[in-house]
Amino acid sequence: MQEDSKERLEEKKDLEKKGNTKNNNGFNKKILWIIILLAIVVSAVVGYFLYNKMKDEKNKVEYTQLIRDIDEGKIGQIEMTMGSSTAVVTYKDENGNVLDKEDKANKEKLKELTKTAIIPNSQAFIELIQNKVEEGNEISFNPKEQNIIVTIGSGIITFLPTLIMIALIFVLFQMQGLGDKGKVYDPSVSSDKITFEDVAGLKEEKAEMIEIVDFLKEPKKYAKMGARVPKGVLLCGKPGTGKTLIAKAIAGEADVPFISMSGSEFIEMFAGLGASRVRKLFEKAQKISPCIVFIDEIDAIGSRRTNSNGGADAENNQTLNQLLVEMDGFETDGSVIVIAATNRPEMLDEALLRPGRFDRTITIGLPDITDREEILKIHSRNKKVSDEVDFKSIAEDTAGFSGAELENILNEAAILAASKRHKEITNEDIEEAVKKVTVGLEKKDKVVSEKDKKLTAYHEAGHAVVSRYLETQDNVKEVSIIPRGFAGGYTMYKTNEDKFYISKTEMEEKLIALLGGRAAEKIALNDISTGASNDLEVAMKVARDMVTVYGMSEKVGPMSMNLEKDPYQIQLLGNNLEDEIGKEVRTILEKAYENAQELLRIHRDKLDQVAGRLLEKEKINEKEFNEIFDE
């Protein structure tokens, strides 16, 4: 790709500033505060005028009564502004005299004698006063010229509420989406450029992405061959697997701008703004092309369209339709590629997934043991890590962890090391961080009764001893009766391999291990407690999935039913199937519970020894646990 000129770099910087919604939001907040202050001032002024008006209502005289009082000679003075419709009238006192306004002694009396009147026709009223004066009526009439400042002020006060409402609506529209949207990340001017070297693992996925990078760098090479450059790439995977990171790495490798926007940012409270934002996003992309448009959580706007005429559904449909139009309409020279991410691809509309829009779907899975080791090493670059830290061992103990979770573990380890004033992050810090993230914070100072300690010791010992005699279950790494999080104790297992498939035997033995805690309570204490509630919940789900999802029941048969997605699916397979499923799940759980009790009865001595060691030390590691069985 040709190098950008200085003018182009400056243009990108300007667009990046425009795309930074943080600055716009800050400016809008300032305007909003100004409007609020103006509204308070206007409310105070309007309140003041309303208060005076209420006072004037008490001292108001009707126009017809005023004419009669003028004829009878009761009026002493009339003050009026030229062109005004209001006159201030001062009556004579009971002796027929006009009180002196300069005399402070007459202040209260003048308030009672001063009235206001609405004059329908000021010119006719002035002529009437002149006639009465010529007839000998002693009236002091004092017409005043209109004050231009007062006139302008009253006009402003009259129209200010309207102006404030217009400004408020404008700011709300700016905040909701009429302004520029989409954050721009430009690797050519950014100091934190991300490349494929910053993305651990994902070898096959990166190989697929290298083609996208080549498309952006040399689109003419593919055009000569007659190849159509992919318009869109959909990244699917669980949260934290690195979808956003790999999209940024593509932009960094191709050295092109990266416009990022979340799917939820398209949907706001005003109808039509989602479609407007889609148009503005692609307009910006064309201006700074070649570039990558990244839409995170696209299922927020890309979910299946409905026939509902409701406001939210109609707005979602309109936004999705606009996205489809834009992806069909923008230039096909490879200058703009849309990358979207979701962890719910099954929710997306079929029209969005067809070739010509999202041509490729790449699944980003959880990292395996090798990838986890690489991820840990990458995230440890800017941290002081001891040479004794074994990243391979940590990777073995974190099967099923995503990249984001691994980064969080190292961050928690760094926090723990700093709080303990360690010079470097040690293995102990990382192991403690793993426990903190997976189980919860250790509560060493929590007061636990001896009765509860004994119950917890036998419960955790039951899990550990049962697992020790089950071939498919992982080795015990640590057993503790110190409360962590919501758990009164825990049994931690050492995972030595990543498992992509689970056999029926393994699932059955997992149920035995899960119910080992409840079985130990029953055998050792001849009682059961609420401590097994989570074990029972997990076991119930495993047994139900065995029957309804994996087809592992001989009585129900080899069938898979997604009852959460389609609860009426079971009705199509027979009226009695629901009862059969319930009986089979119950049979599986009861059998596992009986097997757990049988194992513990056979190895009751080991159960007592493990429980006794836990009551003595509160926590035993893998070596101490295995020593009990080697005796």
Domains along the chain with CATH numbers: 59-146 (3.30.720.210), 181-364 (3.40.50.300), 369-438 (1.10.8.60), 450-630 (1.20.58.760)
Residue 122's alpha-carbon distances to 75, 127, 133, 138, 275, in angstroms, are 17, 9, 17, 20, 57
Q: How far is C-alpha 625 from the geometric centre of its chain's CA atoms?
A: 44
Percentage, residues of the chain above pLDDT 70: 77
Give tens-digit pLDDT for 381-395: 888 998 888 888 888
Computed from CA positions of residues 378, 379, 382, 385, in that sequence, does the dihedral angle turn out positive or negative?
Answer: negative
Instruction: Note the pLDDT of residue 195.
Output: 82
- C-alpha dihedral (266, 268, 271, 276), degrees to nearest 10: -30
**Beta 258-262 vs 183-185: how paired, if at all?**
antiparallel
Kindly tell me if the per-residue pLDDT of 38 is higher than 90.
no
Q: What is the mean pLDDT of residues 347-375?
A: 85
Give tens-digit pLDDT for 507-552: 999 999 999 999 999 999 999 998 889 999 999 999 999 998 899 9
Q: How far apart are CA 459 and CA 465, in angstroms?
A: 10
Instruction: Note the pLDDT of residue 21.
Output: 43
Looking at every residue in the chain, the average pLDDT score rounds to: 78
Kindly tell me if the per-residue pLDDT of 610 is higher than 90.
yes
Instruction: Note the pLDDT of residue 591.
Output: 95
Active-site residue among 315, 373, 431, 460?
460
Instruction: Note the pLDDT of residue 512.
Output: 95
Name the range with the highest mean pLDDT among 114-128, 236-250, 615-629.
615-629
Instruction: Note the pLDDT of residue 64.
Output: 80
Q: What is the mean pLDDT of residues 561-588?
A: 79
Residue 268 corresponds to which tokens in the numbers above? Answer: 């706001």
Kindly tell me if the per-residue pLDDT of 589 is higher than 70.
yes
Q: Which amino acid is at 163?
A: L
Kindly tell me if the per-residue pLDDT of 613 is higher than 70.
yes
Q: How far apart are CA 605 and CA 594, in angstroms?
A: 19
Percentage, residues of the chain above pLDDT 90: 17
Instruction: Note the pLDDT of residue 144.
Output: 67
Give tens-digit pLDDT for 477-490: 889 998 887 788 88
pLDDT band at 458 (very low <50, low <70, confident <90, very high): very high
Give tens-digit pLDDT for 161-216: 676 667 666 655 555 444 455 677 776 666 677 888 888 777 777 777 787 788 87
Kindly tell me if the per-residue pLDDT of 27 is higher than 70.
no
Q: What is the mean pLDDT of residues 559-564?
A: 76
pLDDT band at 465 (very low <50, low <70, confident <90, very high): very high
Query: Of 100-104, 128-132, 381-385, 440-444, which range is least confident?
Result: 100-104
Instruction: Note the pLDDT of residue 573.
Output: 73
Residue 620's alpha-carbon distances to 62, 413, 461, 521, in angstroms, are 98, 22, 11, 20
H or E element in which residue 184 lies: strand 183-185
Instruction: Note the pLDDT of residue 287.
Output: 83
The residue that leads in pLDDT, 387 or 106, is 387
Q: Is 460 a catalytic residue?
A: yes
For 466, phi and psi rounded to 5 degrees?
-60, -45
